[in-house]
Structure 1
Amino acid sequence: METGKTTRKAYSPIKVYCLPSEREAIAENARAAGKSLSNFLLNVGQGYRVQGITDYERVRELARINGDLGRLGGLLKLWLTDDVRTAAFGAETIHRLLERIEATQAEMAEVMKSIVRPRAS
């Protein structure tokens, strides 16, 4: 082996002819896996199962929504325990709280759908 760093660029490439639509499909799969086109094709060509990556922005959004649900649930629990601090809460306030919990759950479901079925780029 040589004293310098050996890279793949020192060797001949494999050329693959494809239609523009095929190239775009391969490029989209590479983006979904978080890999460069070259690295994606190298991994697939060697028989590796390429795993997709999760959109970290969406995961952060789910964590925020989960925190909101926790706080809303805590308020509801406090009311149900007949705590002195919630004595002034009426049924209307509790109904609004429950509606907000349902809306937050719906928001969370939409974010989960966007992860499972990624939006078009």
Structure 2
Amino acid sequence: MKKDRTPKGEGERPRREVPPIKVFVTDDEKAELSRRAASCGLSSAAFMRAAGLNHPVKARADLEAIGELVKLNGDLGRVAGLLKLWLAEKRGQGASAVEVERMMIEFRELQQGIREKMSCIVSARR
């Protein structure tokens, strides 16, 4: 019996001399499994192991969408902070009602962006 090999990278499982499980699939099925594994940032073996053991498999797209939400939320906070500062210190000064309305439109657009990213996450989870 051979000793366990040290994993090559962080997060990899130690390999052991155990027999693989063979699954017969068509070329189309193999391509689809590979595509799904890649979309999750996993190897085909890791994806099949997770699916076979009924472990949750999170798509990499979820993490990217969450990162985008964080950025949008930061932008939204900055816009709100600027509006609050203006209202507190410069009420009626330095900015016309049109400029304030334009800022509010940008604020709403950012909110819409967040809702769109949330919808992407929900759709991807189905």
| Shift, 1:94, TM fit | 0.7
Q: Which amino acid aligns with 2:22?
A: K
Q: Which amino acid aligns with 1:52?
A: K
Q: Please list the CA deviations of residues 78-97 of structure 1 after superposition, one character each: whole Å capped at 9, or x if unmatched.
A: 2333x148622221111001
> How many pairs are equivalent?
114
CA distance in 2 between counterparts of 1:61 and 1:86 reads 35
Identity %: 31
Q: Is the 8 A contact 2:51 2:57 kept in 1?
A: no
Q: Is the 8 A contact 1:40 1:50 kept in 2?
A: no
CA distance in 2 between counterparts of 1:4 and 1:86 reads 76
Q: Is the 8 A contact 1:33 1:50 kept in 2?
A: no
Q: Which amino acid aligns with 1:29?
A: R
Q: Is the 8 A contact 1:30 1:36 kept in 2?
A: yes
CA distance in 1 between counterparts of 2:37 and 2:81 reads 43
5+ residue gaps in structure 1?
none
Name which of 39, 43, 61 aligns with 1:36.
Answer: 43
**Which residue of structure 1 lines up, in the alignment, with residue 29 of structure 2?**
22
**Which residue of structure 2 lines up, in the alignment, with residue 96 of structure 1?**
102
Q: Please list the CA deviations of residues 26-76 of structure 1 after superposition, one character each: whole Å capped at 9, or x if unmatched.
A: 22332344321112222333x332331443433332222111111111122
Q: Aligned with 1:5: secondary structure?
A: coil
Give the TM-score, by structure 1 length. 0.71
| Shift, 1:98, TM fit | 0.6
**Which residue of structure 2 lines up, in the alignment, with residue 73 of structure 1?**
80
**Which residue of structure 2 lines up, in the alignment, with residue 4 of structure 1?**
3
Q: Aligned with 1:61: secondary structure?
A: helix
CA distance in 2 between counterparts of 1:11 and 1:3 reads 10
In the alignment, does 2:120 pair up with 1:114?
yes
